[in-house]
Homo-oligomer: A and B are copies of this chain.
């Protein structure tokens, strides 16, 4: 049984529009809080868009995701998973980036996740732009390369931008492969689409063995078939899940910096996460939600709902370890 200290406030006790907004209405446990050691899954904000090359905004995402998370209740209607019965969950607060220095920001993020990892906590991250994933992987994948299931409209495997700059939201996984944080043979990228200047990213993917499933193939084969393959690629090894909100079609997720037309609908957006059950997940992120381009909060609501699905899958792993599932 989980600790009653690590459960969300119920909307029956305090209406959902009330109260200080934490992720899922969970308690806020700072890294220096003595209760940290009891946390199984930590929700963490990375309010940073230092890697954004076009339209900025994801630095504002963690706060809006926290706000909208009050709309999400406790038991999953589709899978009937009750994550807070399976795992002690908490909001670990935000990593403080340095808006003026990309490299310093990445160091701060990696250091934060090292402390989280040291406490034995599985992190579920609310980015931030997609460059956020790199410093996280530098912590989680430092000891051995991870597999990865990556939902996105872009591969984020480009080499560099603006005449050689190597750290943008278009490059994190190129770096992560180069730094041996990811095992490319165990990486599957799903939903890739849209025009590009060129496709050297896909040439790189082919060269190192990353499987890219473009959106045309996704729509033709359907969620179930695609996810069977994805699970096979990731295998039983430790796996990271990176979910860029622009994976989903912009009618469903307008609030993002580089949308691409023709993506999955919102039901498919949830189905792909449910299909991750059984994988050996060690961490996950939801990135590229951009509130300035979505003042209604519709994108953040979709984003936090996907995060709840990720949380359910992750809590099930904890529950199985404990034998409480």
Contact = CB atoms under 8 A, between A and B. Distances in A.
Contact of A214 (B59, B77, B95, B293): B77
A53 interface: yes
A322 interface: no
Interface string A232-267: 000000000000000001111010001101110111
A63 B195 contact: no
B261 A269 contact: yes
A217 to B, nearest CB: 10
B195 A75 contact: yes
A209 B97 CA distance: 35
A14 B134 CA distance: 21
A161 interface: yes
A78 B261 CA distance: 12
B261 A17 contact: no
B293 A266 contact: no
A103 to B, nearest CB: 11
B267 A215 contact: yes
A91 interface: yes
18 contacts: A12-B161, A17-B60, A18-B47, A19-B47, A71-B258, A72-B195, A73-B196, A77-B192, A77-B194, A98-B165, A99-B162, A100-B161, A100-B168, A250-B266, A250-B301, A251-B265, A262-B270, A295-B295
| Oligomeric state, in copies | 6
Given A216-B78, A254-B298, A292-B293, A14 B94 contact: yes
A118 interface: no
A63 B67 contact: yes
A172 interface: no
Interface stretch (A20-28, A33-41, A138-146): A20-28
From A101, A216, A265, residue with most partner B Cβ within 10 Å:
A265
B295 A266 contact: no
B59 A197 contact: no
A257 B47 CA distance: 16
Nearest to A30: B20
B17 A55 contact: yes
